[in-house]
Amino acid sequence: MTVHKNGGLLKTVAILALIGLATNACSSGGNSDAKDSTIAATVNGKTILLAEVERALNQQAGGKQSQLSQLELAQARLQILGSLVQREVLYQRAEREKVLPTEDQITALINQQKQQGGMTDDDFQKSLTQQNLTMESLRVEARKDIAIKNLQDKFSSKITVNDKEVEEFYNANRQQFVSARGAALAVIIVDPADNSSQGIPAANDAKNEAEAKLKIDNLYQQLKGGADFATVARSKSEDATSLVRGGDIGFFSEDGLKQAGLPKELMDLLMGMEVGSFTEPKQVNGRWYVFKLAEKRLQTENLTLESPGVRQQITQALTNQRKEILNAALLEVAMNEAKIVNSLSANMLANPSNLGLRPASPATAAPPTATTQTPVTPQAAATSPAASPNASGSPK
């Protein structure tokens, strides 16, 4: 866990991305198109239909569920159902704790995520239609997401970290507190491959090499004409994770960029640029990039507790660690208090010869956009910082 002077031990991640709302809504019991009334589980009498599990399975498999073995499908169904049960348990606890959001808060969250995703109203409606969703089902899942976060915040708000704990952590981890030579970057990415699995709208997704080159050149000309980099990234970049942050991928040490395979000439170019400037389009590992230099550090220096931001970063890191523990404890208590009947598991036990298996149903929604782990490349660097904010500066 390395602390960088302006990087932070842990970065705040939005409570959910717009695609997260869509993914959950696809597996919501509120979907009227569900024809299978088979009950997979009940939580305090509230049913979770097998159709909900199937929709989530189809989405998580990215339309490739036919490539999974029957045993893999059975395991996936159990895992998905377990997640749906936990979600319902926490939501019901939030109801009892009276921490449900207002309708205005739900609207604000959806609008915020829509804006961060660079989606127009038309894009948003098309996305809902393509995924067989309604605004009502989306709002149901947004309500659950906010309610669960409010519930967790109710308990984590009691966390305190004193100066002694901060100092002890620093003294035990001095070697990790380094302001490394490197750069903070933002990117605009255009990928000739199909990016529908990331939730990139078809109209914004380059389909081949020629389209990708034409698009990145057009975006570069917009930037040269004075267009705001973050705005262009949000609306046109083809990387779902970084575009919601206006292309920001955080700080990376020079060694980290080397390990990621960034060409030496590109690294030299970045380290020689003025902060705030951007590169011409560069092709790396088959994708087109425009890099913006947000910050540059030419020297590596050791940080002290009095260095700007270090004490606050340690405090936040210790707080977040305790939040994770409290959230796990909250889930454990809520699960123990709930009356859960897992019919899917019971059916598998009753039919061990086939584990209650059946083929995956045809996909009823677009593929998921959840970020998966990727090899260490500049391509992955564009998605790694938010998912792994404690990285030592090496894009993953």
Mean pLDDT on 163-171: 97
Count of CB atoms within 10 A of residue 30's CB? Answer: 14
Task: For residue 218, name the pLDDT band (cuts at 50, 70, 90).
Answer: very high
In this structure, are 24 and 152 located in the same domain? yes
pLDDT computed for residue 94 by the predictor = 98
SS (H, E, C) the chain: CCECCCCCCCCCCCCCCHHHHHHHHHCCCCCCCCCCCCEEEEECCEEEEHHHHHHHHHHHCCCCHHHCCHHHHHHHHHHHHHHHHHHHHHHHHHHHCCCCCCHHHHHHHHHHHHHHCCCCHHHHHHHHHHCCCCHHHHHHHHHHHHHHHHHHHHHHCCCCCCHHHHHHHHHHCHHHEEECCEEEEEEEEECCCCCHHHCCCHHHCCCCHHHHHHHHHHHHHHHHCCCCHHHHHHHHCCCHHHHCCCCEEEEEEHHHHHHCCCCHHHHHHHHHCCCCCECCCEEECCEEEEEEEEEEECCCEECCCCCCCHHHHHHHHHHHHHHHHHHHHHHHHHHHHCCEEEHHHHHHHHCCCCCCCCCCCCCCCCCCCCCCCCCCCHHHHCCHHHHCCCCCCCCC
Give the closest residue to 319 by CA, choosing from 2, 4, 1, 10: 10
pLDDT computed for residue 93 by the predictor = 98
Residue found under tokens 């899942």: 141
In this structure, are 340 and 231 located in the same domain? no
Q: Which residues of 334-363 are buried (b: 16+ CB within 10 A; e: fewer)?
A: beeebeebbbbbeebeeeeeebbeeebbeb
pLDDT computed for residue 81 by the predictor = 97
Please state the separation of Cα 361 from the chain's center in Å: 26
Using the predicted structure, report yes or no on whether residue 381 has a pLDDT greater than 70.
Answer: no
- 2 in a domain, yes or no? no
Mean pLDDT on 213-232: 96
Using the predicted structure, report yes or no on whether residue 210 has a pLDDT greater than 80.
Answer: yes
pLDDT computed for residue 15 by the predictor = 27
Task: For residue 390, name the pLDDT band (cuts at 50, 70, 90).
Answer: very low
pLDDT computed for residue 356 by the predictor = 59
Of 323 and 29, which is predicted with more confidence?
323
Mean pLDDT on 138-160: 96
Q: Which two tokens stand for residue 199?
A: 């939730």
In this structure, are 205 and 142 located in the same domain? no
Q: Provide the domain limits for residue 212.
A: 181-299
Residues 44-66 pLDDT 10s: 999 999 999 988 888 787 667 78
- 196 in a domain, yes or no? yes
Task: For residue 113, name the pLDDT band (cuts at 50, 70, 90).
Answer: confident
pLDDT computed for residue 130 by the predictor = 75
pLDDT computed for residue 68 by the predictor = 84
In this structure, are 34 and 105 located in the same domain? yes
Using the predicted structure, report yes or no on whether residue 365 has a pLDDT greater than 50.
Answer: no
Question: Rounded CA gap, 51 and 34, in Å?
Answer: 6
pLDDT computed for residue 359 by the predictor = 53
In this structure, are 38 and 150 located in the same domain? yes
Using the predicted structure, report yes or no on whether residue 175 has a pLDDT greater than 70.
Answer: yes
- 11 in a domain, yes or no? no
Q: Are 90 and 151 in contact (CB under 8 A)?
A: yes
Supply the pTM of this predicted model: 0.65
Mean pLDDT on 18-43: 58
In this structure, are 197 and 143 located in the same domain? no
Residue 154 one-letter amino acid: K
**Residue ending a domain, choose from 299, 323, 353:** 299
CATH, residue 121:
1.10.4030.10
Residues 281-316 pLDDT 10s: 999 989 999 999 999 999 888 999 999 899 999 999
In this structure, are 43 and 118 located in the same domain? yes
As a whole number, the mean pLDDT across the chain is 81
- 6 in a domain, yes or no? no
CATH, residue 212:
3.10.50.40
Count of CB atoms within 10 A of residue 372's CB? Answer: 10
Q: How many domains, the chain? A: 2
- 222 in a domain, yes or no? yes
To the nearest 10°, the Cα dihedral for 334, 339, 343, 347? Answer: 100
In this structure, are 272 and 346 located in the same domain? no
